[in-house]
Chains A and B, each alone.
Chain A
Amino acid sequence: DIQMTQSPSLLSASVGDRVTLSCKASQNIYKYLNWYQQKLGEAPKLLIYYTNSLQTGIPSRFSGSGSGTDYTLTISSLQPEDVATYFCQQYNSWPNTFGAGTKLELK
Chain B
Amino acid sequence: QVTLKESGPGILQPSQTLSLTCTFSGFSLSTYGMGVGWIRQPSGKGLEWLANIWWDDDKYYNPSLKNRLTISKDTSNNQAFLKITNVDTADTATYYCARTVGIIRGPFDYWGQGVMVTVSS
- List A residues at the B interface (Cβ < 8 Å): 1, 32, 34, 36, 43-46, 49-50, 55, 87, 89, 91-92, 94-101
Contacts and interface: CB of A to CB of B under 8 A. Distances in A.
B109 A49 contact: yes
B26 interface: no
Nearest to A91: B105
B112 A43 contact: yes
Interface stretch (B14-22, B56-64, B72-80): B56-64
B46 A43 contact: no
A50 B102 CA distance: 12
Contacts of A32: 105
Contacts of A92: 105
A98 B60 contact: no
A44 B107 contact: no
Contacts of B112: 43
B107 A49 contact: yes
A44 B64 contact: no
Contact of A97 (B49, B107, B110): B49
B43 to A, nearest CB: 11
B45 to A, nearest CB: 8
Contacts of A45: 111
